[in-house]
Structure 1
């Protein structure tokens, strides 16, 4: 019973109570309450028949309906649903003219306004905002949550609201790739890059997510049952299909242009932008003026800062939806994650950058560098091999022969450093620019000095006995012809 109807029934019951419980005659009880006797008799009859519910005012059977022709009501609604959505006053003016012409009762402005306001919001959204907006707001969503850790992992990319210093020395906004466990909300892996999302970024983040972590408080690892992503080209590549088949992972993609059910990982991106990045130099939230000049961090420093935030803060803080810290919720299941046999096997599947090379007597050549392993490669001099490497650290490469892992080869010049391809490329370009500048400078000095110290060319003397002939003018004048 609605609250208003219930209050009304209680009021009428109080009028009848002296008669029902105290034996007061009904005319006296009605008179003391200021109610007509006939009305009190009608209330008493309804109370004895239906109890307290009988004392509530009965709703009219035609409540909510209007005595308007159905075609007139449809006309009002149809006009209101025409893009871009006219005002009720505009609809009323048109309806008045049509109603007079058709001989229908002319509705008041209040009636038209009430009909317009009563249009189904879903119908209004579909008519005025389009099919896409309707699906976002009114389509039914099955927001399923995984029952256990590693049942479903989600992955996505975002461009961070922060500027860093690129290897070239210029400021740039980096991209973040994240892999999240659906059940625990724990972050399983991530990758920070300057380039747009690509298959290699996804593979590197997935490699970190699957393999054991070196950080003592970060236990999330293993091969997931399902990998849920959007329809980006990096996720739908043939390589990812092969990886999923080899690791027995089920790939699930959201429909193109309809990223439904991806709010969990989008929420994590908001957390990064609100809780991690504002503490770092170069933070530039959207809508603020350009802050590229405030960039101070390198990409490696940003990578380390995000890693610390994930391990020490995000994975340890209770989640608002689950009520548990993500890492604790992942650990609570007490299960043994399924892992590849070795990190070499995982690299063979995930690292997409593979190049054929030949083993030379002085090692393997890559990026103008030399990679050595005296214990194994000496037996394969002259043989064709396949090398695989992590683009974030090319101080070491992995060497395969006939799909069999041979060894790790080290570049002596980079052995104690973590140097990526972009750093090497930037260093090479800087070196080349320096050499080019040096050549240009030296060439200009040579040209200038030779022009000063070189003796002038002698002018041939005119033959004796003949006057020197005047030099002909460069411009031909007709009067001298």
Structure 2
């Protein structure tokens, strides 16, 4: 079994026990037993298996494995398999049924499920042959997704704040390119919305929508508000990464994705992006044209002013409350992590084999580790923006950090550090975003004044 399938099976197992392990309040007597019994009665699409249900004993075993080994404890031990070119008709019909049950399954997953479920003998299926037959039968991933496009949708809203966070990227507007002011560069907005209150727990513009930007936004949101019970997002590359699944497992967060090609499930964050287009974007472009807003830092400052000075204080059309008031009215205790703890959890991970001289290579760089690790496969944990520090782990034990021998690349090739911004003097005009910033700052003063009045009234 490859690591990808292990991650998928661990993710499925975690999804079933997440309502228990991600709970921030203790379970009432009998509540755990009732939940496990209810979960065992449901039907599931289980990665790597043709079974449709799980027993209470299995769920109890997964809970025990997670509590002992957390995310890694949920990973099954894999096996290798062989492939061939022949495919029996009965096996094809079962493959079609499995594909229609869950269109996002890959051909490799279907083969694994067929063989592990005893439908096909190991080594008798070839991925290319099965893929071709599925296309001929109208059961390709594209065909099945198109057939499901007409299904309806049900409105959903979390019962309390910070139970569910929706997040996504939006290609919002263009700023002067930091490297060439004559050109324009796209600024991409990453936003996290609390499903219950519609409060934006964090929003920030970046130059790209890669995994490190999402990690940065999530880390900042968790530091400000605490750890939610659920993340809800689409199937974008950053949101479907094994790294995000691993982060959620370590933080005890349930990760959910909307159905493929069905953005309606993310309606709240999509509607908020449309509001950004009609309210914030025109005002930002007006200041860009005046030369008063030219850098990413200035754009993010304007966004913060618009959020706290306007959006969070206005009445929301659906809730009939402002996001700030709705969030504050239902305060609840939150699990929290320190910055140091979050930094550890968000570190990237790679596996490398140590050579006979005690060295490993990563991103073209060479590092030296303890000689006792020679010829062993070790896990390297690191910050993708700083490859000078490299943690070394083997068999769950942390060894001394690797020593840099040759550092040809200071950061991971999959990331790009933020470029230095150009500085442009503003012309002093006052605009909507300036007024929003003034209101945002006035709220701090108003809160102090009302508090003083409350103390005076009590004294009387």
Using the size of structure 1 for normalisation, the TM-score is 0.43
**Which protein has greater RCO, CA pairs closer than 8 Å, 6+ apart?**
2
